[in-house]
């Protein structure tokens, strides 16, 4: 959402500070222009734009380290910026300061095909990496839909549609190079280490995964890769209600079928997809499946799933083995944000993201639906149902304060229900600005105090992305 321009809020960003930044990264890599500051003051979320005072583009880890040291010395807030696709206001410069855009560091540093791993710089995106890998027979499966930077995905602990089979960023990062607030550069698993397993000391890698730019700047990630499956089949089917869709999902997982994707879309989302992406699916609660594996095995797996769908009152499968048809289906699924916005022209997205143990999913979905109906608002639902993770997407007009208040209330209550049902207030988008109060409730005061101690140890002056994750 774009807002009116704001004047500099950090008095520490003086003209001599700007000159020092220019001396580090070069004049052409520094901007205080309004348009550039505005562009870096928001992501894809509903949070209002909060522009930084200055934007610097880093081209090397040395640039990042020197800029961090300078910001730390002057106490200037430092906000890492990947590709700005976040959904919780993570890059918004709520206290002004310097936005460090790391998207120019675009080198794929190594691919070790035999070891199924690779190392990338901070600006490498998911699509860039997968295009590069195409001829190797390998791919990086974590797919949040958006073409996010891989280090930004580490920073938010992203996942998406493939997590049911391949896990989230947490399970797929082996090592990170991180620049700390004072400019020190560390490798969380030790320089050059890229093993599948390690029992060596604390898991610093996963301390930085999900840290949302509040502990340091990730400048390099060593990631696990997978073999491109021999065969892929997609399928859709619909159900009379949510419970039968979730029951089917649980039974499929209990049968040990290694599903790559199991996505739930409610009838409102299906309607939006049909209109926006020109599909002709029945407007009903639906599951989208994707199977990955050897051709012979897949035939058997799809038969078992089709049987379970039938047993739970679902419709027959609609198959898609043709690559264009499959791509069209998943493109539609990934375009859901824009499809839902089109339900209410001129609206902006307000998204939610709770995750519960899968057996509690029907309860939270049904209670959320009830709240949406009672509030009289539009709220399509989509879920990474195999992981117990789901989203409601509220298209809102920001000058419609009445609807906005209703949306805030439903969204907050949804998170509270998830917490009550042993879940989390965010499965994959992070805490950012809007869920800081929920984090306290989720982790508890003592646990949060330990998080705070870790933050204070690594960033004693509190310059790293202030106002995010913590109050």
Ligand X SMILES: Cc1cc2c(cc1C)N(C[C@H](O)[C@H](O)[C@H](O)COP(=O)(O)OP(=O)(O)OC[C@H]1O[C@@H](n3cnc4c(N)ncnc43)[C@H](O)[C@@H]1O)c1[nH]c(=O)[nH]c(=O)c1N2
Ligand Y SMILES: O=C(O)C(=O)Cc1ccccc1
φ, ψ for residue 264, nearest 5 deg: -100, 135
Give the residue from 388, 390, 426, 391 showing the smallest Cα distance to 250: 388
| CB closer to ligand X, 282 vs 326 | 326
Residue nearest to ligand X (CB): 152
Q: Please, is 42 exposed, middle or buried when counting C-beta atoms within 10 Å of its C-beta (0-12, 13-18, 19+)?
A: buried
229 binds, among ligand X, ligand Y, none (CB under 5 to 8 A by kind): none
Smallest separation, CB 295 to ligand Y (Å): 29
Closest CB to ligand Y among 141 and 160?
160
Residue 145 is a binding residue for ligand Y (CB under 6 A): yes
**Strands 318-320, 286-293: pairing kind:** unpaired
What is the Cα–Cα distance from 164 to 385, expressed in whole angstroms? 9
Which one of ligand Y, ligand X, none interacts with residue 393, CB within 5 to 8 A by kind? ligand Y
In sequence order, which residues have a C-beta less than 8 Å from that of residue 66 and are 6 or more positions away? 24, 183
DSSP 316: P
Output 71 or 381, the one with its CB closest to ligand Y: 381
- The shares of helix, strand and coil residues in the chain, as percent rounded to the nearest 5, are 40, 20, 40
Q: How far is the CB of 113 from ligand Y (least distance, A)?
A: 30
Angle, CA 300 vertex, CA 299 and CA 301 arms, to 5°? 95
Residue 419 CB: number of other CB atoms within 10 A?
16
Among residues 43 and 442, whose Cβ is nearest to ligand X?
A: 43
Q: In the bound complex, what is the minimum distance in angstroms from residue 288's beta carbon to ligand X? A: 13
Q: Nearer Cβ to ligand Y, position 152 or 160? A: 160
Contact call for residues 285 and 334 (beta carbons, < 8 A): no
| Contact call for residue 261 and ligand Y (CB under 6 A) | no
Which DSSP string corresponds to 53-121? SEEEE--SHHHHHHHHHHHHHHT--EEEESSS--SS-TT--TT--EEEE-TT---EEEEEGGGTEEEEE
* 140, 264, 317, 393: residue in contact with ligand Y (rule CB under 6 A): 393
The binder of ligand Y chosen from 336, 425, 433, 464 (CB under 6 A): 336
Residue 102 binding result from ligand X, ligand Y, none, given CB thresholds of 5 to 8 Å by partner type:
ligand X
Partner interacting with residue 84 (select from ligand Y, ligand X, none; CB below 5-8 Å by kind): ligand X
In the complex, least distance from residue 120 CB atom to ligand X, rounded to whole angstroms: 11
What binding mask, one character per residue, do residues 337-376 give for ligand Y by CB under 6 A, x or -? x-------------x-------------------------
* Residue 382 within binding range of ligand Y, rule CB under 6 A: yes
- Residue 226: half-sphere exposure toward Cβ, Cα within 13 Å: 17
The answer to whether 121 and 176 have CB atoms below 8 angstroms apart is no
Length of the chain: 471
Smallest distance, ligand X to C-beta of residue 143, A? 8
d(CA 414, CA 405): 14
Q: Which two tokens stand for residue 141?
A: 């499966």
Query: Which of 368, 387, 456, 399 minimizes the C-alpha distance to 426?
Result: 387
Nearer to ligand Y, 133 or 272 (CB): 272
The site for ligand X (CB under 6 A) is made up of 43-44, 79-87, 90-91, 102, 122, 144-146, 148-149, 151-153, 155-156, 158-160, 212-213, 217-218, 337, 428-429, 465, 468
Given phi > 0 = left and psi -120 to 50 = alpha, else beta, which region is 282? beta
Task: Give the pairing type, strands 78-81 and 98-101.
Answer: parallel
Residue 47 in contact with ligand Y, rule: CB under 6 A: no
How many other C-beta atoms can be found within 10 angstroms of the C-beta atom of residue 330?
Answer: 18
224 binds, among ligand X, ligand Y, none (CB under 5 to 8 A by kind): none
Binding-site partner at residue 91 among ligand Y, ligand X, none, CB < 5 to 8 Å by type: ligand X
Q: How many residues bind ligand Y (CB under 6 A)?
A: 8
What is residue 161's three-state secondary structure?
coil
Q: Which of 3, 90, 5, 14 is nearest to 54 (CA)?
A: 14
Quick one: 24 or 169, whose CB is closer to ligand Y?
Answer: 169
382 binds, among ligand Y, ligand X, none (CB under 5 to 8 A by kind): ligand Y
Closer residue to ligand X, CB minimum distance, 309 or 337: 337
Examine residue 390 and tell whether it contacts ligand Y (CB under 6 A): no
CB of 337 to ligand Y, least distance (A): 4
Shortest gap between Cβ of 135 and ligand X (angstroms)?
25
Q: How far is the CB of 395 from ligand Y (least distance, A)?
A: 10
Instruction: Give the footprint of ligand Y on this chain (CB under 6 A).
Output: 145, 160, 336-337, 351, 382, 391, 393
């Amino acid at each position: 959402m774009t807002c009116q321009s704001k004047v500099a809020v950090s008095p520490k960003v003086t003209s001599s500070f700007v000159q020092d930044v220019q001396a580090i990264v070069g004049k052409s890599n520094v901007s205080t222009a309004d348009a550039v500051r505005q562009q870096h003051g928001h992501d894809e979320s509903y949070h209002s734009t909060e522009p930084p005072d200055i934007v610097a583009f880093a081209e090397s880890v040395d640039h990042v380290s020197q800029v961090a040291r300078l910001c730390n010395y002057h106490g200037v807030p430092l906000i890492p910026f990947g590709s700005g696709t976040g959904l919780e206001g993570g890059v918004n410069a709520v206290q002004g300061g310097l936005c460090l855009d790391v998207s120019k560091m675009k080198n794929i540093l190594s691919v070790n095909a035999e070891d199924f791993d690779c190392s990338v710089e901070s600006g490498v995106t998911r699509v860039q990496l997968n295009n590069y890998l195409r001829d190797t027979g390998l791919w990086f499966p974590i797919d949040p839909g958006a073409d996010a930077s891989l280090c930004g995905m580490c920073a938010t602990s992203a996942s998406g549609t493939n997590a049911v089979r391949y896990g989230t960023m947490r399970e797929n990062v082996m090592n990170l190079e991180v620049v700390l607030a004072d400019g020190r550069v560390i490798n969380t698993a030790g320089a050059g280490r890229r093993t599948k397993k390690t029992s060596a000391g604390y898991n610093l890698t996963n301390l930085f995964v999900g840290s949302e730019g509040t502990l340091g700047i990730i400048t390099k990630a060593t990631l696990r890769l997978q073999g491109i499956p021999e065969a892929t089949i997609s399928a859709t089917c619909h159900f009379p209600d949510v419970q039968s869709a979730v029951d089917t999902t649980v039974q499929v997982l209990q049968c040990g079928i290694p599903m790559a994707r199991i996505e739930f879309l409610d009838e409102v989302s299906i309607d939006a997809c049909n209109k926006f992406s020109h599909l002709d699916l029945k407007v009903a609660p639906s599951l989208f499946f994707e199977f990955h594996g050897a051709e012979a095995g897949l035939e058997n797996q799809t038969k078992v799933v089709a049987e379970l769908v039938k047993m739970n009152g679902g419709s027959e499968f609609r198959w898609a083995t043709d690559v264009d048809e499959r791509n069209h289906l998943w493109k539609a699924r990934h375009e859901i944000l824009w499809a839902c916005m089109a339900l209410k022209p001129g609206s902006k997205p307000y998204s939610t993201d709770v995750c519960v143990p899968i057996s509690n999913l029907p309860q939270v979905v049904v209670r959320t639906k009830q709240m949406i109906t009672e509030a009289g608002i539009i709220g399509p639902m989509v879920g990474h149902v195999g992981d117990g993770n789901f989203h409601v997407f509220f298209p809102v007009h920001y000058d419609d304060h009445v609807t906005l208040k209703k949306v805030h209330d439903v969204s907050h209550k949804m998170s509270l229900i998830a917490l009550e049902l042993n879940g989390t207030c965010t499965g994959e988008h992070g805490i950012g600005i809007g869920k800081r109060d929920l984090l306290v409730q989720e982790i508890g005061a003592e646990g949060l105090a330990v998080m705070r101690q870790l933050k204070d140890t690594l960033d004693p002056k509190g310059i790293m992305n202030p106002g995010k994750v913590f109050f």
